[in-house]
Structure 1
Amino acid sequence: MNKCSSVFGQILQIFNRYEFERMVRKTQSEKGSKGFSSWDQFVAMLFCQLGQAHSLREICGGLATCLGKIKHLGVKGAPHRSTLAYANEHRPWELYQNMFYALLEKCQPLQKGKKKFRFKNQLLSLDASTIELCSTLFDWARFRQTKGAVKLHLLLDHEGYLPVFALITEGCVHEVNVARELTFPKGSILAIDRGYTDYALFAHWTDTGVYFVTRQKDNASYRIIEERTVPHHRNILHDEIITFTGYYAKQHYPGPVRRIEVDDRDNNRVIVLLTNHLEFGATTIARIYKDRWQIETFFKTIKQNLKIKTFVGTSQNALFIQIWTALITILLLKYLQFQSTRAWSLSTLVALLRYNLFTYRDLWTWINHPFEVPVIVPNVTVIPIPFQ
């Protein structure tokens, strides 16, 4: 490792440049380009996320003020605003999508052993979050009469809490339509909110060996066919096997399903859960649904700590590039978390990285002891420039 490389430069070394160039050729992202490479564009957009830049002016100005430090980033120099804006508008966002999945493959081996539950089944959460936009500036993303929006769909693996699937759609696309297109490993457990209620989809998952845990809709009609014993001194009120009696529900899902009532004492309410898993204890089912909150926390972390609510471009391509770069940044932070012996929170790691992006420190020592690693002073010769 180059000891005189900045922290930002060492972060960029996580990416395989040969693999990056292969993806550039595959997506033809440099077709017709003149000097400004895809790597230069990626470095600028990653700096937007890690440096919390609010505009193209801040991105280009922030890189320009680093003087000689950006030579360790593999770029020729700070881009002009018009150059970066044109690249974000015209170069395919699919390059950033491919980079996300390439980095995901690097992170997944590091998450092994970071599992909260004892069962061997893969636990996944599926959810979507709406990102509101100004309908005047983003006229292509019209959501309602006076609002614009896009929707970010995520599938979260609870072993390491990594996003293993992401999709950006228009705001009017319903979550269920995306769920119907996905396939899940046999034996996996899917924790979802009741917005995904689709009895035909539930039947398909049951037939393919996929378990689901969700909340029951308030207007669901059913018939109890079996009462199970509830555990003592727990928050389980009822554990029942039911069949649906509603016309369409019974037609699409004729088989038995499990209904569990959970006393949510923290919020003074009763949560009613539905699942096709008939063997796990009721307490385990309740814990599975409670852990679904991690995907809500994930969305909150992205929106609060990365640039995903304000955008540096108004075209669809530029917006997609910025969101995919935010997802790449989250994976980078997860990668650093997995490699560190320190219990970092994502918000603290983002803040301290922002302050140290262009300091000369050994990154892999710094993430273990952030307040103890001294700055490395490069051995350089300063040539004075006479005042003109």
Structure 2
Amino acid sequence: MGKNTANKCSLPILGQLLSFIPKELFKQSVEEYQSDKWYKKVKAWDQFVFMLYGVLTGSSTLREIIKNFMLMGDKLNHCGIFRVPKRSSVSDANSGRSADVFGRLYMLLYDHYKDFLSDSYLSLKINGEVDPGTVEIFDSTVVSLFKEVFKACGRLPLDGRKKGGLKAFTKITLSERVPNFICLKAAATNEKVFLSMFELAKGTIAVFDKGFQKFRQYAEWTEQGVYFLTRMNKNAKFSILEQMPLEENCEVGVQMDAIVELEYTCGPTATNRRTKARMVAYIDPVSGKRLVFLTNLMDLKAMTVCMLYKNRWTIEPLFKQIKQNFELTYFLSDSENGIKTQIWIALILNLIFTVIHKMAKEAEDFATMVKLAAKHTASYVNLLGFLKMSSAQISDALDNLENVQLDLFGNNNGGTFQNSS
């Protein structure tokens, strides 16, 4: 065996990506939703592979995907595909099969890889006080659609035409890189609706934007031992109970630290209720903007509260990364299930490439890595080995045409195409 055989693989790059999906997890998801019960021509796996290829390569039509698969020939066997169906059959699967099966697959994959994805460099306590593993950041992003499949938010344009939109409510742990909770709703859905869709463990710190402001939820979290941190809305009703002293030369930028009483209505009779919270006012030394934070973290330094909220912006690059690297501009279906399926598969691809990126020790830029895989889906080059190599090593390795067995993650975390024995 030549010295560069480690740069060759028995699977094409598309098959290598699919090998990060353990077959038992995919089977579990399909069985939970009975996704193959009424489909004979296009099974859930077939649909998943076709759509994954389309999202990765930026295909704009199902016809384009089907014809590309026809050209791949025997390489399809390595991807678990043994027959290329008609375009209409894939279209029917997109519109008829519930997208929840792929949402469930995403969460199973997250559970499978979450320990590996936890970043040790993010384990240091924020300002020496807060463990990033206890911080949950959540926000929502809107995916614009070409037609009114889901109700969009905002006012009606002057021309009377309004595209649809889908809002992806997302939650991540500060010490990780991928979402641990996702909910897809019409873009017109109010952010406050999402707050009651998940449970937070005692001791968790929820950090979010002021668009989610809901005083009644804050009161419930306080009773449950869950902490929150957000910005104060201008129209919030509150009264200051006590001004806290500021530490000299330690709270640079902190203008005020106070205990306040929040007023909100509760129940069908709109009964007035009150709950206590902490308000910290901060002047950004760069922009000069005054920011007012609201929290029930009473024992932390005021600057720690400000630094915690600053970390909320770590979720924004995640949204940008997904939208820029995976096809969410041209939707391959005009049905609700088809659109949601494409978004779930984009999230699954983002998770897989995040795993590969970390395995490759971030030797290559994330976007470049995705583009390389997208343009060479039929290549038998070992993607992970290739990403780790220098330019000189790559040139030497491409001269060797031997194939070797792929072993990306070892037997303990085997992929879809490993033998169960």
CA contact (8 A) 1:230 1:238 kept: no
Deviation at 1:100, TM superposition (A): 0.2
- Which residue of 130, 139, 153 maps to 1:127? 139
Q: 1:26 to 1:134 in 2, by over 3 A?
A: same
Q: 1:208 to 1:302 in 2, by over 3 A?
A: same
More displaced stretch, 280-289 vs 368-377: 368-377
Q: Partners of 1:166 and 1:244 in 2: how far apart?
A: 32
- Which residue of 213, 218, 238 maps to 1:202? 218
> TM (normalized to structure 1)?
0.88
1:194-240 deviations in Å (ceiling 9; x for gaps): 01111111111111111111111123343150222145265422241
Q: 1:236 to 1:108 in 2, by over 3 A?
A: same
Deviation at 1:73, TM superposition (A): 0.8
Deviation at 1:321, TM superposition (A): 0.6
Q: 1:17 to 1:247 in 2, by over 3 A?
A: closer
CA contact (8 A) 2:255 2:282 kept: yes
CA contact (8 A) 2:151 2:187 kept: yes
- Which residue of 219, 223, 227 maps to 2:240? 223
More displaced stretch, 56-65 vs 226-235: 226-235
Q: 1:128 to 1:231 in 2, by over 3 A?
A: farther
In the other structure, the counterpart of 2:198 is 182
Instruction: Note if 1:270 corresponds to 2:290.
Output: yes
Partner SS, residue 259 of structure 2: strand
In the other structure, the counterpart of 2:261 is 244
In the other structure, the counterpart of 1:92 is 98
Q: Partners of 1:268 and 1:349 in 2: how far apart?
A: 38
More displaced stretch, 200-209 vs 173-182: 173-182
Deviation at 1:254, TM superposition (A): 2.4
CA contact (8 A) 1:125 1:155 kept: yes
1:262-281 deviations in Å (ceiling 9; x for gaps): 22233331211111111222
In the other structure, the counterpart of 2:18 is 12
Q: Partners of 1:347 and 1:213 in 2: how far apart?
A: 32
CA contact (8 A) 2:251 2:302 kept: no
Kindly indicate whether structure 1 or structure 2 has the higher relative contact order, using CA contacts under 8 Å at least 6 residues apart: 2
In the other structure, the counterpart of 1:166 is 182
Partner SS, residue 4 of structure 1: coil
Deviation at 1:89, TM superposition (A): 0.9
Partner SS, residue 244 of structure 2: strand
Q: Partners of 1:32 and 1:247 in 2: how far apart?
A: 50
- Which residue of 310, 326, 332 maps to 1:306? 326
In the other structure, the counterpart of 2:406 is none
In the other structure, the counterpart of 1:24 is 30
Instruction: Note if 1:109 corresponds to 2:109.
Output: no
Q: Partners of 1:197 and 1:245 in 2: how far apart?
A: 12
In the other structure, the counterpart of 1:383 is none
Instruction: Note if 1:377 corresponds to 2:401.
Output: yes
Q: 1:359 to 1:267 in 2, by over 3 A?
A: farther
CA contact (8 A) 2:216 2:264 kept: no
CA contact (8 A) 1:258 1:274 kept: yes
Q: 1:370 to 1:12 in 2, by over 3 A?
A: farther
Q: Partners of 2:337 and 2:264 in 1: how far apart?
A: 44
Instruction: Note if 1:80 corresponds to 2:86.
Output: yes
Q: Partners of 2:19 and 2:248 in 1: how far apart?
A: 52
In the other structure, the counterpart of 1:64 is 70
Q: Partners of 1:41 and 1:367 in 2: how far apart?
A: 29
Q: 1:218 to 1:344 in 2, by over 3 A?
A: farther
In the other structure, the counterpart of 2:249 is 232
CA contact (8 A) 1:230 1:282 kept: no
1:95-143 deviations in Å (ceiling 9; x for gaps): 10111011101221113324254133511111111222234xx445465
Letter aligned with residue 377 of structure 1: L
1:22-81 deviations in Å (ceiling 9; x for gaps): 322332222232333221111111111221222212222332233332221110144432
Q: Partners of 2:264 and 2:88 in 1: how far apart?
A: 59
In the other structure, the counterpart of 2:313 is 293
Q: Partners of 2:370 and 2:170 in 1: how far apart?
A: 21
Percent sequence identity is: 25
Letter aligned with residue 187 of structure 1: G
Q: Unpaired segments of 5 or more residues in structure 2?
A: 1-5, 404-421
CA contact (8 A) 1:224 1:242 kept: yes
Q: Partners of 1:199 and 1:311 in 2: how far apart?
A: 38
- Which residue of 11, 30, 41 maps to 1:35? 41
Q: 1:199 to 1:245 in 2, by over 3 A?
A: closer
CA contact (8 A) 2:136 2:172 kept: yes
Deviation at 1:307, TM superposition (A): 1.5
Deviation at 1:18, TM superposition (A): 3.2
Q: Unpaired segments of 5 or more residues in structure 1?
A: 380-388
Q: Partners of 2:226 and 2:363 in 1: how far apart?
A: 33
Q: 1:267 to 1:66 in 2, by over 3 A?
A: farther
CA contact (8 A) 1:360 1:377 kept: no
1:360-380 deviations in Å (ceiling 9; x for gaps): 12233223227444346357x
Q: 1:284 to 1:233 in 2, by over 3 A?
A: closer
- Which residue of 168, 171, 185 maps to 1:155? 171
